[in-house]
Amino acid sequence: MATAPAKLTFEDIQASLEAMKAQTRAPRNPVWVADIASKLGIQVWPELIEQACDTRAEVYLNGGWRGGKTYTGDFSAFLYLFDLVMLYPGEHLVWLVGPDYVQARPDFFNLTEWAGKMGFGVQATDRMDGSLRATVTMSRFPGTVIIE
C-alpha cells in the first residue's frame, strides 16, 4: 500500500481526481480516501475504503442491523459530491431518495456536516418537516452541488 504524503492538500486530491477523470471508471486512491474519512471522524475499516474507492454509478450495500450501510453509502455519496465540486464546472444536483423525507434526513445531515468539516461553503435549510436543500461550494473550485 502506498504511503500518504505528510500533509494531503486539496491540490493533491484535485490532481488525483483529474487523473481519475481521464480514465473511465478509474477507482479512487485508497490513501486519500482513508485520509478524508479520518479527517471527517469516520472510523476506517477495509470494506469502507474498498466501497468508497469504487466509482461505479450504482452499487449495492448490504449488511446487518447497525452494519455501517448508511455511513458507507453516505461516504461514497460525499466523495461523489467532492468530485463534482472540484472537477466539474456548473451546478449539479445530488438528489437523496428514501421511502420518505424523514428516512433520508440522516443522509442529508451527514453530507452537509462532512462538507462543512472539509471547508466547503454550505448553505442549508433547517426545516423540521418536509424536504431539505443545501448548496455546497468551494471558492477555488469550479463546481456547485445542490443536495435535495
CA diameter of the chain: 46
Asked if the model's pLDDT at residue 6 lies above 80, the reply is: no
- Number of helices and strands in the chain (H, E): 5, 4
Q: Write out pLDDT tens, residues 51-108.
A: 888 776 666 565 666 656 777 788 888 888 887 777 778 888 888 887 887 888 888 8
The pLDDT, as a whole number, for residue 5 is 47
Check: pTM over 0.85? Answer yes or no.
Answer: no
- Residue 142's CB is within 10 A of a number of other CB atoms, namely 13
Q: To the nearest whole percent, how much of the chain has pLDDT over 70?
A: 76
Arithmetic mean of pLDDT over the chain: 78
CA angle 103, 109, 112 (to 5 degrees): 145
Alpha-carbon gap, residue 73 to 107, rounded angstroms: 9
Residue carrying C-alpha cell 505528510: 6
The pLDDT, as a whole number, for residue 30 is 87
The pLDDT, as a whole number, for residue 3 is 54
Asked if the model's pLDDT at residue 48 lies above 70, the reply is: yes
146 in helix, strand or coil? strand
Minimum mean pLDDT range among 98-102, 107-111, 118-122: 98-102
Phi–psi pair at 122, nearest 5 degrees: -125, 125
